[in-house]
Amino acid sequence: MIETPYLLFLGDAPDMLAAKVAIGIRDWRPENALGQLRLPGCGADLGLPDMTLAEARAAGVRTVVVGVANRGGVISPAWKKALVMALEEGFDLASGLHNLLRDEPDLRAVAEATGRALHDVRVPEVAYPIANGVKRSGKRCLAVGTDCSVGKMYTAMAMERDMRAAGLKATFRATGQTGILITGDGVPLDAVVADFMAGSIEWLTPDNDPDHWDLIEGQGSLFHISYSGVTLALIHGGQPDALILCHEPTRTHMRGLPGHALRSLAELRDTALPLARIANPACAVVGVSINTQHMTEAEARAYLDGVETETGLPATDPYRFGAQKLVAALAAI
Amino acid sequence: MIETPYLLFLGDAPDMLAAKVAIGIRDWRPENALGQLRLPGCGADLGLPDMTLAEARAAGVRTVVVGVANRGGVISPAWKKALVMALEEGFDLASGLHNLLRDEPDLRAVAEATGRALHDVRVPEVAYPIANGVKRSGKRCLAVGTDCSVGKMYTAMAMERDMRAAGLKATFRATGQTGILITGDGVPLDAVVADFMAGSIEWLTPDNDPDHWDLIEGQGSLFHISYSGVTLALIHGGQPDALILCHEPTRTHMRGLPGHALRSLAELRDTALPLARIANPACAVVGVSINTQHMTEAEARAYLDGVETETGLPATDPYRFGAQKLVAALAAI
């Protein structure tokens, strides 16, 4: 649906965490990420060529993707001028923000005048059912985190990559805007109406071959009071056979919630597993995924060794060291 | 906003459970429930006078309330004729169904032609914030259930009644269509977009007097995979100081989920309390509310005695025997 390749719009993102969408596209579909467009004050840098709109057109870019996720999902007035220019220069726009491109009168007017498309991937396009809890064929794995933005999507993406490389049947199932922008398909779970959250995940992960694994993108955290309900709907709608615990050890408090201390991997296991077994009594915790981006390689390896000793589970940073340990753990259940 | 009194439309409701909305209005605002309107095949009976539209008009009715909650919230074609006639006879319509009155072209056309109002209380009218987890002043109590439709709303309503009768400060906080239709205010949580669920409950239960109790209407159940995410958002957005455990002992499986066995009160306590303490470490389970409608009075009293012995908590059926035990338990924390 969304024409590739992309120019990744970073706006005035204060830091790299705010550029999560763009980073995901760069890392998992690098062939689609030709360049970045940054405004004054932007504190993020993807390491891609900085391109003007003219340069992007010369390079073959078809769509400008808003690669920034704000708290609250607002389209900043500071971005408007650049986005209007992009439409005028002949690019489509794509965004996963809560605040829709189509709801901005100026963007809508220019898009209509120029015949360009506005893709709001956050908007659910499907009338999802209410979850029925019926067991489906095939296997499902879900990454759950001690916090938001700790690497759940990367974990599932890396497992898909390594499983496919090993000749196994695996499908990444996107539940957020980045995943949908990367794969072109999925459920924008944050924007689904409450009653249909779990049903949307049943819809996303239907019956499949007995040896096929759905690798479901996690959202939020059971410990993050702003989004914990979304996480539980994902656990109960996904009916996972396997859980991967995800953690970012250098964080000092829950993202966006000063005063809320980070919980441990053991607390996550003891909280998530009984809840998952309500939907699937056979569910097991099979491994740990650590986001070691703020550690040296030696620190990372020492930390992973410690986690394996403490939890008795295989632990890796799947982005840094590969997901093979987690793939092997799935094969064992 | 909604003009009273009401005629309660039961349509072709197969049983009394489906007429939950109408029953709630009858029980908690009897002065507004003048009569019932039933179609052929209706298996529900509120014990109110059956009225034609002409009789309802003569009795002073202003609004016909759709008092039936279907699975999926659909407006049945079988209801259409009666609802169109009600508009033509000069009544407003009010409904809490997912499928909106305003989205039915025939109802909308007749309402516009006759100048009548269509009230869809399920539609959120507020731009709720994302939850911030900040501690609010005042106290909050939340009823959680082993299943859906076990008496959580009645528990909170009965506690409000008995607390006010005792001169205490208490406010029932509606989170579903019945509660909103009864009180005229609240959050239609089932219909809130996922990311804003917990924030909507923070909005609903703001800072208050230190000795004031919000009695928050529960929704769903942590054990009901279709709606558990809604329940957890309510627990984390509400930051309850006190939990009441609710149970209906005669149910053989989770409502709408054949094959999913009902969980015990002990399992509910052990699941809900650690989750509630993520948002409010001081939260305590203070009492048990049993829905004994399918038991004789002797059976009910014996069952309650057993629950008190097993759990060490005060137990009552607040609708049948009053909520004083639960009110006393709140006063003790």
Q: Could you read off the pLDDT of B275-327 as tens digits, one per residue?
A: 999 999 999 999 999 999 999 999 999 999 999 999 999 999 999 999 999 99
Do A265 and A237 meet the contact criterion of CB atoms below 8 Å apart?
A: no
Stretch B183-206: mean pLDDT: 94
Would you call A229 and B233 a contact, using CB atoms and an 8 Å cutoff?
A: yes
Q: How far is A65 from chain B (nearest CA, A)?
A: 22
Q: How far is B136 from chain A (nearest CA, A)?
A: 14
pLDDT above 80 (res A253):
yes
Local confidence band at A301 (pLDDT 50, 70, 90 cut-offs): very high
Would you call B229 and A225 a contact, using CB atoms and an 8 Å cutoff?
A: no
| Residue listed under structure tokens 């800072």 | B207
pLDDT above 90 (res B242):
yes
Local confidence band at A47 (pLDDT 50, 70, 90 cut-offs): very high
Half-sphere exposure of B131 (CA within 13 A, CB side): 35
| Among A residues 37-66, those touching chain B with beta carbons less than 8 Å apart | none
Q: Where are the beta strands (DSSP E) in chain A?
A: 6-11, 33-38, 63-66, 92-95, 118-120, 139-145, 169-173, 212-216, 242-247, 284-290, 315-316
B259: its two tokens:
């094959």
pTM of the model: 0.87
Q: How far is B215 from chain A (nearest CA, A)?
A: 20
Give the residue on A whose Cα is nearest the Cα of B189. Answer: A194
Q: How far is A299 from chain B (nearest CA, A)?
A: 30
Local confidence band at B71 (pLDDT 50, 70, 90 cut-offs): low
Task: Please give the interface size between A and B, counted as residue pairs whose CB atoms are below 8 Å apart.
Answer: 132
pLDDT score for A210? 97
d(CA B325, CA B163): 11
| Residue listed under structure tokens 């969304």 | A2
Stretch A157-185: mean pLDDT: 92
d(CA A231, CA A247): 15
The 10s digit of each residue's pLDDT in A142-151 is 999 999 989 9
Among A134, A128, A271, which Cα is nearest to B235's?
A271
Out of B71, B225, B229, the one facing A229 most closely (by C-beta) is B229
d(CA A314, CA A324): 10
* Contact status of B128 with chain A (Cβ, < 8 Å): no
The 10s digit of each residue's pLDDT in A180-209 is 888 878 999 999 999 999 999 999 999 999
Out of B71, B257, B278, the one facing A133 most closely (by C-beta) is B257
Among B272, B291, B247, which Cα is nearest to B147's?
B247
Among B147, B217, B244, B201, which Cα is nearest to A225's?
B201
The 10s digit of each residue's pLDDT in B251-282 is 988 888 888 889 999 999 999 999 999 999 99
The 10s digit of each residue's pLDDT in B38-69 is 999 999 999 999 999 999 999 999 999 998 87
> Range with the lowest mean pLDDT among A207-211, B29-33, B82-86?
B29-33
The 10s digit of each residue's pLDDT in B209-235 is 999 999 999 999 999 999 999 999 999
Q: Provide the H-helix boundaries in chain B.
A: 20-28, 53-59, 77-88, 105-114, 152-165, 177-183, 197-204, 228-238, 265-279, 297-311, 318-321, 324-331
Give the residue on B whose Cα is nearest the Cα of A201. Answer: B226
Stretch B170-193: mean pLDDT: 90
Q: How far apart are the first and last CA of chain B?
A: 37
| Among A residues 4-23, those touching chain B with beta carbons less than 8 Å apart | none
pLDDT above 70 (res B142):
yes
> Could you tell me which residue, A289 or A253, shows the higher pLDDT?
A289
Going by the DSSP 8-state scheme, the letter that residue A72 receives in this structure is: T
* Contact status of A176 with chain B (Cβ, < 8 Å): no
Out of B72, B193, B278, the one facing A193 most closely (by C-beta) is B193
d(CA B333, CA B316): 18
d(CA B174, CA B189): 9
**Which residues of A are less than 8 Å from B262 in CB distance?**
none
- If you average pLDDT over every residue of chain B, what do you get? 94
Would you call B194 and A197 a contact, using CB atoms and an 8 Å cutoff?
A: yes
B293: its two tokens:
């409608």
Out of A98, A131, A223, the one facing B225 most closely (by C-beta) is A131
d(CA B257, CA B108): 35
pLDDT above 70 (res A297):
yes
d(CA A193, CA A59): 40
Would you call A278 and B223 a contact, using CB atoms and an 8 Å cutoff?
A: yes
Do A308 and A314 meet the contact criterion of CB atoms below 8 Å apart?
A: yes
Do A239 and A227 meet the contact criterion of CB atoms below 8 Å apart?
A: no
pLDDT score for A285? 98
d(CA A41, CA A30): 25
* Contact status of B228 with chain A (Cβ, < 8 Å): yes
pLDDT score for A70? 66
3-state secondary structure A183-237: HCCCCCHHHCEHHHHHHHHHHHCCCCCCCEEEEECCCCCCCCCCCHHHHHHHHHH
pLDDT above 90 (res A118):
yes
Provide the 3-class DSSP secondary structure of residue B24.
Answer: helix
* Contact status of A69 with chain B (Cβ, < 8 Å): no
Give the residue on A whose Cα is nearest the Cα of B199. Answer: A226
Would you call B236 and A230 a contact, using CB atoms and an 8 Å cutoff?
A: no
Q: How far is A48 from chain B (nearest CA, A)?
A: 31
| Residue listed under structure tokens 């409450």 | A194
pLDDT score for A212? 98
Query: Cα dist. B128→A100, B141, B145, B199 in Å?
Result: 17, 21, 25, 6
Determine what percent of chain A is predicted with pLDDT higher than 90. Answer: 81
**Which residues of A are less than 8 Å from B278 in CB distance?**
222-223, 225, 228
Instruction: Please list the residues that pair with A173 across neighbouring strands.
Output: A216
Give the residue on A whose Cα is nearest the Cα of B232. Answer: A229
Neighbours of A161 (CB within 10 A): 18
pLDDT above 90 (res B127):
yes
Provide the 3-class DSSP secondary structure of residue B325.
Answer: helix
pLDDT score for A71? 64
pLDDT score for B96? 85
Local confidence band at A265 (pLDDT 50, 70, 90 cut-offs): very high
Out of A225, A237, A239, the one facing B236 most closely (by C-beta) is A225
pLDDT score for A64? 97
Quote the Cα angle for A193-B204-A220, to 5°. Answer: 45
Would you call A278 and B133 a contact, using CB atoms and an 8 Å cutoff?
A: no
Query: In chain A, how long is the greatest CA-to-CA distance?
Result: 62
Would you call A230 and B192 a contact, using CB atoms and an 8 Å cutoff?
A: no
Helix (H) or strand (E) holding A302: helix A297-311
pLDDT score for A96? 85
Cβ contacts of B298 within 8 Å, gap of 6 or more: none
Half-sphere exposure of B163 (CA within 13 A, CB side): 23
pLDDT above 90 (res B97):
no
Going by the DSSP 8-state scheme, the letter that residue B193 receives in this structure is: B
